[in-house]
Amino acid sequence: MRDFHQPGRSAVFADNGMCATSHPLAAQVAISLLQQGGNAVDAAIGAAILLGLCEPQSTGIGGDMFALVAQPDGEIIGLNGSGRAPAGLSADALRAQHDTMPLYDISAVTVPGAVDGFCRLHEDHGKLPLADVLAPSIHYADAGIPIAPRVALDYATSADVLQGAGRRHYLQDDKPLPVGARFKAPGQAEVLRRIAAEGRAGFYEGEVLEDMLTSLQALGGTHTAEDFAKTACNYVTPLRSTYRDAELIELPPNGQGATAMLILNMLETLTPQENPFGTQRAHLEAEATKLGYDARDRFLADPDHVSKLDHFLSKDTAARLAGLIDPDTAMPDPRAASDNVHKDTVYITVVDSERRAVSLIYSVFHSFGSGFASDKFGILFQNRGGGFTLEKGHPNEAGPGKRPLHTIIPGVLKLGDGSTMPFGVMGGAWQSTGHARFVSNVVDYGMDPQAAIDAPRAFAEGGEVRVERGYSEEMRNGMAQKGHKLITPLQPIGGAQAIRIHPDGVLEGGSDPRKDGIALGY
């Protein structure tokens, strides 16, 4: 139990239904849809679409989505709603101008897959009419939503990536929106009305398609109507892996959920450290992250191009990698060390009265995505193509019709006591480490969902370890002595939400104070 003398949050408990997400208005809308007779799928879709208006820098209908749905009978369904590169994308042409895949270039804009994913998920598993599910978002797109504090921070630090129509639709007097300013998106309200009436055709055909194509092609994009017509989500078989007495369920590539499994498989071979916030745990996690992300960058890609997933998920592979970790010294080059072994996002989780649980993540990749938006309706385009590599022959090499490696990953955790916990984190590349950290917090240290989310975070990336201010000076000094180069990031590391379904049916939710949101139940 937390120290009630200190600032903090209590976990939220309820019996009927619950939502945990990064903005209170979205959580409230999810609960309202449940109370109207909708199920967790309806509530998750309605809240997710609204988050594109509450947090326009993080997500929107020009992005991608992934979902896990745990059905009341125990079946877990996976959906990949990520879009593909246009048929005209050429890695050779890009290599002639770039050494690495550009992030804020029209070549990084992949076809939006989220709307197709939402429509398919609703058609197959929803309960309310789609018009009812989208009604709150249509209302708020017209009426506007006051900018929350964390959203304002993200606006201020990333608005410079907006270009052309993106600046006109997402800035106010060409400046970032401050706290309390009202963000309105009447163009998106019209798009949502068409989706409510026509389903996916309201987005991928007609005037909305024409607006997106005209805008993309004017910027030099090779996107065509056929690229949009071919956009189709697909159901996938979730990956399952054990961590001590728990089971972790993730989606297969092109997401990076397998990386979380690899990191946990490495940590499972190591003795849990007594102090969850001490130097040694952070060091071992940083070293496992380096090795896990190196493996990710070697192997993970479009599912049609991944060939070594069994090797990636093998407990033996993880044990051999873990054997490379020095308990006292930071690893300077994980790629060289492991050669012999290998030869800005929103998350929402909803549980309904039947104990159907949805774990859904939805993003435009970097904050404000590509920075480009469609001229008439203001649809912000993602820059997911930035997840490709230009390395010739690599499974994740940029190419026509391919899905790039994604950072966003929904998760479900089944615990030894019979609890089920849909959970997820936000924060770009950090998400695999974030999943591993959250699972370890719960399994190794017995933390409740809120405590596991509140706990301080560190992330090894690019030769540095980003360390939140929640860690002690003793931990920082210990990490430095092991050879880690530490930095304190301007913004906290990611965000997270989770709902634990206890064996007796009681719901327990947590939501990250690093964001503006809440867990809300009834």
Using an 8 Å Cβ cutoff, are 462 and 395 in contact? no
d(CA 406, CA 231) in angstroms, rounded, equals 17
Q: How confident is the model over 282-306, as a mean pLDDT?
A: 95
Q: Which band of pLDDT confidence, cut at 50, 70 and 90, is reported for residue 336? A: confident
Statement: residue 340 has pLDDT above 70? no
Statement: residue 499 has pLDDT above 70? yes
Q: How confident is the model over 89-116, as a mean pLDDT?
A: 97
Q: Which band of pLDDT confidence, cut at 50, 70 and 90, is reported for residue 483? A: very high
Q: How confident is the model over 438-450, as a mean pLDDT?
A: 97
d(CA 70, CA 68) in angstroms, rounded, equals 7
Phi, psi of 348 (to 5 degrees): -145, 140
String of b and e for 460-478 (b: at least 16 CB within 10 Å)?
bbeeebbbbeebeeebbeb
Residue 131's pLDDT is: 98
| pTM of the full structure | 0.95
Q: Which band of pLDDT confidence, cut at 50, 70 and 90, is reported for residue 2? A: confident
Q: Could you count the other beta carbons within 10 Å of the beta carbon of residue 174?
A: 9
Statement: residue 402 has pLDDT above 70? yes
Q: How does pLDDT run across 449-473, given as a tens digit for each residue?
A: 999 999 999 999 989 999 999 999 9
φ/ψ bin of 63: left (φ > 0), alpha (ψ from -120 to 50), beta (otherwise): beta
Residue 389's pLDDT is: 95
Q: Which band of pLDDT confidence, cut at 50, 70 and 90, is reported for residue 272? A: confident
- Going from N- to C-terminal start, the domains of the chain cover 21-68+77-236+256-347+361-407+457-498
* Percentage with pLDDT > 70 across the chain: 99
pLDDT, mean over the chain = 96
| CA neighbours closer than 13 Å in the CB half-sphere of residue 340 | 5
Q: How does pLDDT run across 119-177, given as a tens digit for each residue?
A: 999 999 999 999 999 999 999 999 999 999 999 999 999 999 999 999 999 999 999 99
Where in 163-218 does DSSP place strands (E)?
Answer: 182-183
Statement: residue 337 has pLDDT above 90? no
